[in-house]
Amino acid sequence: MSTQGSVESELDDFDNKALSILVVDDDRTNRLVLNALLSKEGYKISEAADGQQAVDSCLETTPDLILMDVMMPVMDGYEATRQIKAMEVDAFIPIIFLTALTDDESLAACVTAGGDDFLSKPFNRIILQAKIRAMLRLKHSYSVQLQQKKMLSNHAKQEEQEQLVAKKLFSNVVHTGSLESPNIKYIISPMSIFNGDMLLAAYSPSGSLFVMLGDFTGHGLKAAIGALPVSEIFYGMVAKGYSIGDIVFEINARLKKILPTGLFCAGSLVEFDPEYQSISIWSGGVPDTIVFHPEEGIRMKIEPKNVPLGILEPNTFNRSVQMYPLKEDDRIYLYSDGVIEAENAAGGMFGQSRLDQCFDKDSDPDFLFETVLGSLSDFVDGKSQTDDTTCIEILCNASHDQNETEEWKSKSRSKIPLGWDIALDLNADALKEVDPLPIITQTIMEIQGIIEHRERIYTVLAELFSNALDHGILGLDSKLKQSAEGFAQYYTQREENLNNLTDGFVKIHIRHDAVDNKGQLTIHIQDSGKGFEYQDQNTDMSHNTGHSGRGIPLIKTLCREFEYCGNGNEVTAIYEWEYKN
């Protein structure tokens, strides 16, 4: 190892350049000896006769290592070492003291001044070479670590900059829509730069307010990436007047196609219709939706009926919605599980019961949203978030941007009421394979253009067709849906009965008539079942608040006329709409 190549090979450093050593000693003979000795080893040697020259030399050229004498004129080795170490920022310059002093205090002073090692004079050549190599290996390790640190720092800065740019672009795509409407209050609090929760709002051409709260599994960019296609579908379809069922069906199909296994979106999609004072809701995998009234407190808690979006294949996905009448001054509250699962310092969770206690009927309704947030903040008491947190309040009698709504209406006006009819007969094989409702609904929209009535017409068709198939042909009992266990049993039994179906039919006939300035949609559905005693049917909506029995009373609130005939296996409903020029 007596050549320059061997030194560089051992240290693998400095781009194959000779390693430089600064020899600092006021004795010229000592400098000559060290110069001759170290030059043979392949090192590049420079010299300084005192501490000041050493400091000046380091200001001009940084050596790889310094051999420092202690006792020198002008500036001793202690002070020179302190100044050289003080001027180091990123570079590490090992300093080995070569001293004739042997007492403990003097040797300790070498270390205190910043020396990295010392060797007493007269020194042993082999030991000196070993110490030099050890210090240069240490310097090499330091240089590698420093380079890696810089690379990590630069990478972190670049990643942060890219995330900020991505967040800006993400925010422009997943925009807030109509969240700034006067009848809405909301909070979105992400755990990291990107939010796994999503909150969207938009008005339809008919003036209905659509709101979607989504909660993707996980946190950060991985969770947030699914919000891009969801927001595109939501805003595009709401603007065109599509129904909740159509929107969630399309979102589920897209997420099922693009999301990896294990990533899905729990969500609620709500439509508030100010004209009919009602809400329609589809929800899956999220906490209960709360409907609050100042005089009653919590008036309804709407449980999710479905699995989250992105799990089921389109042919097994349930697009059915729930519809509920509203009262004046009702408020709707949607929230992600980050609210009820928020933790305090002791590890306790905020919980559903603590949230429910915030909805006191004696509370000032105008500040109820702030009360909920205040209670959550007091409970958490500064503890860091463990999940994304989102909450929204919708005041159901507040005005909204009529100009925006009227502009949309002008782009998609209903056509003058026309006279037409369509019929569809489905046998057993077709009933097992085809869902006719989207086809029929879209056909009505294409012919008549009444997109503002799409959701209500779809609801009427869905309830009537479901009754004909599930109860008339498959013989299912809706009372099974009184409990969560029964609900699951109902759909298991439905799937089995449908798969085993070999005979039966459902006939759908729809006629549309123009009457004065109104359109009348007459829907007649007949099934091959044995029927039932429809005279005993409970038609009061207020007495149907469970999981079953709400369908027919709901239809009667939407339709001008409703009538069973035959053995109860035929039903006629007339839906009326008014044409506005």
pLDDT tens digits along 269-305: 999 988 778 888 999 999 999 999 999 999 999 999 8
pLDDT for res 579:
82
Residue 143 predicted with pLDDT over 70: yes
Instruction: Please tell me the number of Cα atoms within 13 Å of 167 on its side-chain side.
Output: 13
Q: Which CATH number fits domain 4-147: 3.50.50.60, 3.40.50.2300, 3.30.470.20, 3.30.70.260?
A: 3.40.50.2300
Check if CATH label 3.40.640.10 holds for domain 174-406: no
Which residue is listed with tokens 């506005």?
580
* DSSP H or E run through 248: helix 244-258
Confidence band for 229, pLDDT divided at 50, 70 and 90: confident
Q: Is 277 left (phi over 0), alpha (psi -120 to 50) or beta?
A: left
Nearest to 368 by CA among 340, 331, 343, 341: 331
Question: At 2, is the pLDDT very low, low, confident or very high (cuts 50, 70, 90)?
Answer: very low
Give the three-class secondary structure for 564: strand
Q: How far from the centroid of its chain's Cα atoms is residue 572's Cα?
A: 45
Q: Is the pLDDT of residue 10 over 80?
A: no
Domain ranges of the chain: 4-147, 174-406, 413-578
Least confident stretch, 66-80, 87-101, 217-231: 217-231
Residue 542 has pLDDT above 60, yes or no: no
- Please name which of 223, 274, 278, 282 lies closest in space to residue 250, comparing C-alpha atoms: 282
Q: Please state whether beta strands 289-293 and 331-335 pair in parallel, antiparallel, or not at all (unpaired).
A: antiparallel
**The token pair that represents 440 in the structure block:** 């029929």
Determine which helix (DSSP H) or strand (DSSP E) holds 42, and give its type and residue range. Answer: none
Q: Please give the Cα distance from 150 to 519 (Å, whole number).
A: 73
Query: If pLDDT is split at 50, 70 and 90, which confidence band does 375 have?
Result: very high
233 or 102, which is more confident: 233
Six token digits for residue 205: 């051409």
Selection from 302, 279, 277 nearest residue 290 by Cα:
302
**Tokens standing for residue 270:** 């709500």
Instruction: State the pairing for strand pair 570-578/561-565.
Output: antiparallel
CATH number of the structural domain 413-578 = 3.30.565.10
Residue 544, pLDDT score: 32
Number of residues in the chain: 581
CA angle 562, 565, 566 (to 5 degrees): 165
- The DSSP call for residue 309 is B
pTM of the predicted structure, to 2 decimals: 0.54
Per-residue model confidence as pLDDT tens digits over 255-272: 999 888 878 899 999 999
Tokens representing residue 397 in the block = 């009698």
Ranking 96-110, 307-321, 395-409 by mean pLDDT, the lowest is 395-409
- Specify the long-range contacts of residues 470-479, CB closer than 8 Å, at least 24 apart: 470/494, 471/529, 471/532, 472/506, 472/527, 472/528, 472/529, 472/530, 472/531, 472/569, 473/431, 473/501, 473/504, 473/506, 473/527, 473/528, 473/529, 474/498, 474/501, 475/529, 478/548, 478/549, 479/548
